[in-house]
Amino acid sequence: MSKKQVVLIGGGGHCKSVIEAIQSDEHIDFIGVVDAQKLENVLGVAYLGDDSILQDLVNQHYQFLITVGNIGAPNLRIKLFDKIKSLNGLFTTGISPNALVAKSSSIGEGTVIMQHAIVNAEVVIGKNCIINSKALLEHETTIGDHVHISTGVIVNGQCKIGNNCFIGSGSVIGNNVTIADNSIIGAGSVVLKDIKEAGTFFGQPARKFK
């Protein structure tokens, strides 16, 4: 199988974590990093330039991952994803060889599954998501587009997490819970009831903060 030639968009902390997570995947070659500011290199991966070179990179048929992270709203990740789409760029998926991903699950373009994450039976994950280190997604859960499930989160079975949500580190989402699009769940929260309208929620049990 030929290797995927992958360009990373955003060269900060999340990018370093993605490189560590997927560099031992023998099917991936990193071409380089695109960042708004000039960098030396990122963990040995070359700096290529700023976003003005994206069309050239698309023309060379490289595949992309958005490696700008987000705590809260994913606006920059969406903007960069849509920009590359508008240039007819192709996204790949990045799956750490240390993650456990069920064969019956499905993972959207541009999504990364970080180290020691577990994605169980019939989970469906949308595009441009971060399933961060040690997150657990249980059976038949659905994750929308541009979602960040942060480090150590537990999402139990048959949940529905809407588009653009951020679930903070260590949070627990109970079985069969639905969370509305654009919701933010603060770190360490416990969500046992549906969240029907977007907002910022925090606590055990989680309550609306704003």
The residues assigned a catalytic role are 139
Residue 109 and residue 13: Cα distance in Å, rounded?
A: 21
> Does residue 36 touch ligand JB3 according to CB under 6 A?
yes
10 vs 144, which CB is nearer to ligand JB3? Answer: 10
> Does residue 53 touch ligand JB3 according to CB under 6 A?
no
Cβ neighbours for 75, distance < 8 A, ≥ 6 positions apart: none
- Rounded to whole angstroms, what are the CA distances from 199 to 46, 47, 107, 186? 39, 37, 26, 11
> Does residue 9 touch ligand JB3 according to CB under 6 A?
yes
> Does residue 206 touch ligand JB3 according to CB under 6 A?
no
Shortest CB 26 distance to ligand JB3, Å: 25
Shortest CB 1 distance to ligand JB3, Å: 29
For the beta carbon of residue 52, count every other beta carbon within 10 angstroms.
Answer: 8
Torsion-angle region of residue 71: left (phi > 0), alpha (psi -120 to 50) or beta? beta
Interacting span for ligand JB3 (CB under 6 A) from 10-18, 88-96, 120-128, 171-179: 10-18
Which residue matches tokens 């560099």?
23
Residue 33 and residue 66: Cα distance in Å, rounded?
A: 10
Site for ligand JB3 (CB under 6 A): how many residues?
21
> Does residue 113 touch ligand JB3 according to CB under 6 A?
no
Contact residues for ligand JB3, defined by CB under 6 A? 9-15, 34-37, 51, 68-71, 76, 80, 132, 150-151
